[in-house]
Amino acid sequence: MNVIGLARRAAPILFLIFCVVAWQLICTIAHVRTYVLPAPSAILLRLYHSWSILEPHTLVTLEETLVGFVLGSLVGFVLALLIAYNRLVEEMLYPLIVASQAVPKLAIAPLFILWFGFGIWPKVVVTILLVFFPVVVTSAEGLLWVDRNLIDLLRSVSANPLQVFLKVRLPHALPQVLAGLKIGITLAVVGAVVGEWVGADKGLGYLIIFADSQLDTTLSFASITVLVAMGVVLFLGMDVLGRLITPWQRVRVQDPGL
């Protein structure tokens, strides 16, 4: 790896370290009260000492996130298939799909509690509503924008629709599908937390609301830190999965001036 490549990889980490150090210095020099803005050192200590409290709530939120992500991705991909293969379905569904994203999830989440109770499903439904949209949009685009010559070539050798899908449409759409999944996995974390804010007695979203009500800002920031770490790890995991599934996408055009 050359010096420029190493510098590019190190730059985000160094910038993050700079921000954390600056945050720590501001809190220390300005004597900022902990309940207003805890220093990073105080948050790390709280993570260590309160992990026995944070762990079960983290597992609950992780479960809601993964279940909602899987179901939302399936819903999004099925809708994308319907849109890609039927113009009438596209004209009927797309306005409804867009309209579903214009509705504030926090406003309709109480209805899900009324309909599905206080278990995991209200949070999962909120997560599904956030996840399916980027998946359906990117997947439909990938399935539709296929080189027509490739499809005609397969049809000229009597390939059936399933073979055309498996040999041309799906491989062509995979990068777009995976892009939607990477967006969806981070939105899944947000959806789980939004669901927990409305009605829950466990989960990191619930813990944040509880900590704020007690003016325990350090615990609130510790919970947020765990959520951020969860979202980053899930995103990176999806990115690695995408690189394994679509190795041909690894080659990127580099700016000749760099």
Query: Can you read off the two tokens belonging to residue 196?
Result: 């927990």
Provide long-range contacts, Cβ within 8 A and 24+ apart, for 142-149.
142/172, 142/173, 142/174, 142/175, 142/176, 142/177, 143/80, 143/81, 143/83, 143/84, 143/169, 143/170, 143/172, 143/173, 144/83, 144/84, 145/172, 146/172, 146/173, 147/172
3-class SS at 247?
helix
Does residue 1 carry a pLDDT above 60?
no
Assign domain 40-249 one CATH number from 3.30.420.40, 2.30.30.40, 3.20.20.105, 1.10.3720.10: 1.10.3720.10
pTM assigned to the model: 0.84
The per-residue pLDDT for range 200-209, each reduced to its tens digit, is: 788 999 999 9
The pLDDT value given to residue 197: 86
Q: How confident is the model at residue 249 (pLDDT cuts 50, 70, 90)?
A: low
The per-residue pLDDT for range 107-140, each reduced to its tens digit, is: 888 888 888 878 888 899 999 999 999 999 999 8
In the chain, where the domains are located: 1-31, 40-249
Which of 25-29, 104-108, 214-218, 226-230 has the largest mean confidence? 226-230
The per-residue pLDDT for range 139-188, each reduced to its tens digit, is: 988 888 877 767 666 676 667 777 777 777 788 888 889 999 999 999 99
The pLDDT value given to residue 75: 94
How far is the CA of 116 from the CAs of 37, 194, 244, in angstroms? 37, 16, 38
